[in-house]
Amino acid sequence: MAVHSPRPDGLPARLGADDTLVMGVLNVTPDSFSDGGEHYRLADALAHGRHLIAQGADIVDVGGESTRPGAPRVDEEEELRRVLPVVEALAAEDAVVSVDTMRASVAAASVEAGALIVNDVSAGRADQDMGGEVARLRTRRGTPPVFIAMHWRGHSDVMNELTDYEDVARDGAVELEERLAALREDGVEERYLVVDPGLGFSKTGEQNWEVLGDWDALASHGLPILVGASRKRFVSALGVDRDAATAAISAYSAEHGAWAVRVHDVPATVAAVRVGDRLRRSVRR
């Protein structure tokens, strides 16, 4: 059984306890796979962000571009229009805000608006300026933003064609390590890095389970781990309630030492990670 993964620097002390954090998803998009359009208007987005926090979310992850399979890209101006007012308003209320973006310009504007975390599903591959920009940025706390680097092989329109691996967990870990090396070379500091295995991205349903089943590969980077399984197709394919199934994966992730889980249904996840954390602390080593 894994011990809890390290904590990234740069976040408020209230997030420093040895518990798995809950990141609530706030999609400010008309076309996300689960909740597209529900929080597209600013008032709706802010209301939902506040609701996530009231339910127990430690972090609110604000995204203005859908990454569902087949989704078209939005232009930079539209992405900025969607996310910046939400980031700024929630950060002004002392929420810990993450921006879900593949663009260095959106990351920079969001950090200036108050975001403490940049969540890039491409780990800097989609925008060659991302690593250097993140290394240069400083949050309102005076520290670099935390940077979440996910395993990614290509954009939404092609990712389902990029699922060939010899060993999906180990190959994905090697590919992600290559991206981490590039980010470090760009100046991103190790203590602000978080890794995400990229469930649902360039992976078949069965491959997602193989990734989750090889926690040693997930932990091989020696960095905090974010797991994002919420409502994804491989979860829905079980034929049970997708939020209940997600909560089970969250409990498993917490038991194995994940730093955070990214979810839509916060209350069930809060309960799940508390169980997982408690089990992890009780296991004899």
**Which residues form the catalytic set?**
232, 262
Closest to 17 in 3D by CA, of 217, 273, 282, 211: 273
Query: What is the CA 170 to chain-centroid distance, rounded?
Result: 20
Rounded Cα distance, 230 and 228, in Å: 6
Pair 100, 119: CB distance under 8 Å: yes
In degrees, rounded to 5, the angle at the alpha carbon of residue 115 between the alpha carbons of residues 267 and 17 is 50
The pair of three-digit structure tokens given for residue 262, joined into one six-digit string: 């990214």
Beta pairing, strands 146-150 & 193-196: parallel
Closest to 14 in 3D by CA, of 116, 134, 84: 116
Total residues belonging to the chain: 285
φ/ψ of residue 147, rounded to 5: -120, 120
In order, the DSSP letters of 70-113 are TPPPPPHHHHHHHHHHHHHHHHHTT--EEEE-S-HHHHHHHHHH
Bridge partners (DSSP) listed for residue 261: 22, 227
DSSP structural state of residue 41: S
